[in-house]
Amino acid sequence: MAKITIFLVGVWLLGSWSYLSKPEYPTYKDPKQSIDTRVNDLMSRMTLEEKVGQMLQTERLVATPDSVKKYFIGSLMSGGGSLPAPQASAQTWIHMVNSFQRGALSTRLGIPMLYGIDAVHGHNIVYKATIFPHNIGLGATRDPDLVKRIGVATALELRATGIPYTFAPCIAVCRDPRWGRCYESYSEDPKLVQEMAQIISGLQGEIPDNLPKGVPYMGGKDKVLACAKHFLGDGGTTNGTDEGNTVISWDDLMRIHLPGYPVSISQGVGTIMISYSSLNGVKMHSNRDLITGLLKNTLNFKGFVISDFEGIDRMTTPYRINYTQYVGIAVNAGIDMFMVPSNYTAFLDGVTELVKNKVIPMSRIDDAVKRILWVKFMMGLFENPLADYSFVKYLGIQEHRELAKEAVRKSLVLLKNSESAGKPLLPLPKRVPKILVAGSHADNLGYQCGGWTVEWLGLNGNDELKGTTILSAIKNTVDPETEVIYKLNPDVEYIKSNEFSYAIVVVGEHPYAEWHGDSGNLTIPYPGPETITNVCGVIKCVVVVISGRPVVIEPYLASIDALVAAWLPGSEGQGVADVLFGDYGFTGKLPRTWFRTVDQLPMNVGHPNYNPLFPFGFGLTTNSTKAIYSA
């Protein structure tokens, strides 16, 4: 009996030792647990340094897999033009992102990092990606379903490069076209901006009916995290100055600039970015009443709040003076993650010091990190941290290019269409002896796409992009017997000495981004006005304006037979030719007021003394001639 007892005790001890020696399987790694349970378990295991690391997003240029591991970096990003290699392939992007991710996964707790990028009109800095029209053009379509489908396509192209997070959409309400970011705004009208925010459902996926509205949501490995920006009032600065001051009453702020945010939150947007601008003299990055009070408490936003690029630095005067002090102000205002593209150890050290000195309460750090981790769990990053190479096939596919062409066709706004011999100039006949195509923007993909295309400030030329210029599209569309001659800026004698049936003049703004695009005169750069004058003064002409906003056109209007606002159409110039030649009709409507002179600005629909050249919502229509040609 004693021998049996000893044997049983031995078996029990052996089993117990085996059980005790098994490595613990942390609750936060169990996908069967609720997100809240996983977040709380992970938070209980984290040191202050690990928590502060989650609040950092730095530029890939200053990071390595080892630094991601050493500093527990929670997020990385590519700024405009920040590429792993010139004309990098999708596989090259994935290899880079995964190498950083492996650094994050090798930390003590294995918290995956989140990689973000400015995919604001398609996956716009990636070679061979589909470049969609900028937001001002999408606003002209008045088609929320189209915008949602663009979101779906953009998400797939992001996933093709292994990136799960885009800093889009911009839901600013641009109230002054002198602002250099006006093309990032869908409209001067807050209701139209609300409708276009449907792109969030395309990017992130539709929230299922069994989930509460307003909780951050992303619907699978083919979707990406979105970011509504820039909170709040960035489109209303005085004189349209980028990063300037918006002087406005509370009622007007709520009526004009807020409406896009509750709609975005109801669609489950995961992140919201804070504006560089000030509101009645208070920097938005320091505005606790609006970030914590309005956004988090009143609107009940449950995702995380992210700063803009160098958002803390832009708070300081002079630049970077008393940096740590402003770190504390921004964290206490309610910002959760910070874009610190360089010198990020100053941020990490500053936050840690301020917590230890009780300037930043630990409860504020915990709130920020819980939000960040909640979104990461919701995205499935813990289960699928590494990029899936199977998505590579979606980069720049024909289906997406067809969608972009549809967007271009629907975005074109016909502003003038004069009749000659009882017949309007547009749609143009395809079969004529000879056509003149003129202008700086007719054969230039970089100009056609605008800013935020490969480089932050955009490009000049066709070498770095895959797409169709408007000139190529015209040649593709006309009858094979029709001769198409291109001259950038022909003189009057040249035009008179050739027997052109008509001319297409394509001119507009050169690419720009942010404050580089601020303009007090809004004139078309040389030689655009001269080209219009020379060509339209001699023969029948249609002028196609490529611009991120209305520009000065009234002085030339009398000589122009037909005028088209094509905005910044992106890589698929075929969409322009499709409508010019009648394969599709004009349907676009102005998303913002077209002024007569800049002295009238700011001028928006509903203002007293509203006297535009073309009012908000204006747009002539034409019918498709497809049926005629096929008869």
Q: What is the dihedral of CA 153, 372, 309, 257, to 10 degrees?
A: 70
Q: Which residue, 447, 386, 433, 423, is CA-closest to 562?
A: 423
Residue 10, classified by CB atoms within 10 Å of its CB into exposed (0-12), middle (13-18) or buried (19+), is exposed
* DSSP structure class, residue 517: G
Token digits of residue 434: 């000879």
By C-alpha distance, which of 381, 477, 364 is closest to 48? 364
Q: H/E element holding 279?
A: strand 278-279
- Report which secondary-structure segment, H or E, holds 339: strand 338-339
- Measuring CA to CA, which residue among 172, 134, 195, 188 is closest to residue 565? 134
Find, among 142, 252, 268, 278, the residue nearest to 215 by Cα. Answer: 268
First to last CA, the chain: 104
CA neighbor of 413 nearest in space, from 631, 569, 233: 569
CA 584 to chain CA centroid, nearest Å: 28
Distance CA 379, CA 187 (A): 31
Count Cβ atoms within 10 A of the Cβ of residue 318 and give its class: 0-12 exposed, 13-18 middle, 19 or more buried.
Answer: exposed
Closest listed residue to residue 161, CA positions, set 74, 220, 89: 89
Half-sphere exposure of 146 (CA within 13 A, CB side): 20
Q: What is the DSSP code string of 552-578?
A: --HHHHTT-SEEEEEE---SBTHHHHH
Residue 443's contacts (CB-CB under 8 Å, 6 or more residues apart) are 462, 469, 470, 471, 472, 486
Q: Where are the beta strands (DSSP E) in 344-500?
A: 413-417, 419-420, 423-424, 434-438, 483-487
**Residue 234 annotated in active site:** no
Alpha carbon of residue 14 to chain centroid: 60
Phi and psi torsions of 66, nearest 5° = -70, -40
166-to-65, 116, 209, 227, 494 alpha-carbon distances in Å: 21, 5, 25, 7, 49
- Calpha distance 589→616 (Å, rounded): 8
Angle at 226 between CA 222 and CA 231, to 5 degrees: 175
The length of the chain is 631
Q: Which of 157, 176, 308, 518 is catalytic?
A: 308
Contact between 436 and 498 (Cβ < 8 Å): yes
| Of 188, 455, 514, 561, catalytic | 514
Whether residue 383 lies in the annotated active site:
no
Q: Which residues are catalytic?
A: 308, 514
